[in-house]
Amino acid sequence: MKTVVVGLSGGVDSSVSALLLKRLGYNVIGLFMKNWEEEGQCKAAEDYEDVVKVSTKLGIPHYSVNFTKEYRETVFQDFLVSYKAGYTPNPDILCNREIKFKVFLEKALELGADYLATGHYCQRDPDGRLLRGEDPTKDQSYFLHAVSQKALQKVLFPIGDKRKSEVRKMAKEQGLATAEKKDSTGICFIGKRAFKPFLEDYLQPQPGPFETLDGTVVGTHDGIQFYTIGQRKGMKLGGEGDAWYVVDKDVPRNAVIVVRGANHPALFSDWLRASHFTWIAETPLLPLRCTAKVRYRQEDTPCTLLESGEVLFDKPQRAVTPGQSIVFYEGKLCLGGAIIRSPRLVGSSLFSCIAKSSRRFAAD
């Protein structure tokens, strides 16, 4: 009998994953992972109570591991460095690569498991290549694009071929404590708190100017790390006309560049440069025609990836954000991805001040 350690998070997806594996005849062990410690701010204790309830209901043993030290050193510190540099990072992607499918996987194998299973909505083929989840509204391959094929060969995704509605239905039918539990959103170490006050505890904010494309100062921002490309809310900029949107951040001058209108040309990019490429299996031959996402839950767009690390989009993309990930696909197959560094705006010759400030990312 094969042994599977299921990463139980206290949510419905991992709970049903354990249920399905037990039905298939695996020896199932539940393992809860704690990544953050801060008095009264993370709901880990509540989640663990649900893990205990589900494990008891299913009749499986359960354990807890603490990776807070590893998380701070490999994920959270990178998160802070990126924000300080003016980027908008995605710590969930780094957490998957360095914590869930590395140290957590290693712990599962140490316990004698043949596989680690998680409640992610994605799939893999027999060779360990990553495939999209069957539910297009929940597919999480975007967040796992940096996990290696070697690691994925030891991973099972029991609900990857199911839709969320099916998963909740199974949980209700089996009377699992997590059946009606809301999906977790955001980053665990932020919890239910507002993002801005949390970040202020770690990065000293430095107010600076909101500027238009021609350099006109239209207000004062609270700190460059609090703003991201495409942002509309929270800037306290008024006046007659369309709403203001962030289109760039000039870190050396501590300036946030804004425009009016949700469809302003400065919000669109037809090209970007990326770095830190990771490929799940072998590196593809370049140039490569494929599709890509520049954010989660976005529809794929056809593009061409060049040997220089540049990506040319067939259709301009809105609010391409330095620090976020671009993820590449061939049909259902997730090839890998990279970190966005410097997007080029549509008609960028008209916006020389933006092009100048964006060049800072290309040097990284």
Edge-first strand listing for the sheet containing 208-211: 217-221, 208-211, 255-260, 244-250
- Six token digits for residue 145: 């694009």
Q: Would you please indicate which residues are annotated as catalytic (active-site) residues? A: 95, 188
Q: Are 300 and 329 contacting, i.e. CB atoms less than 8 angstroms apart? A: yes
Q: Which of 112, 110, 78, 80 is nearest to 97 (CA)?
A: 78
Q: Are 272 and 344 contacting, i.e. CB atoms less than 8 angstroms apart? A: yes
Would you say the C-alpha torsion 307, 291, 153, 33 has a positive or negative sign?
positive
DSSP classification of residue 129: -
Please name the residues in contact with 351: beta carbons below 8 A apart, sequence gap of 6 or more: 213, 266, 345
> Could you tell me the CA-to-CA distances from 216 to 67, 92, 253 in Å, in that order?
47, 37, 14
Long-range CB contact pairs, 351-359, < 8 A, 24+: 351/213, 351/266, 353/213, 353/214, 353/215, 353/257, 354/213, 354/247, 354/248, 354/257, 354/266, 357/248, 357/249, 357/250, 357/253, 357/255, 357/257, 358/248, 358/322
Q: Which of 60, 45, 40, 317 is nearest to 192 (CA)?
A: 40
Longest Cα–Cα distance of the chain, Å, equals 69
CA 82 to CA 80: how far, in whole Å? 5
Element (H, E) at 117: strand 115-117
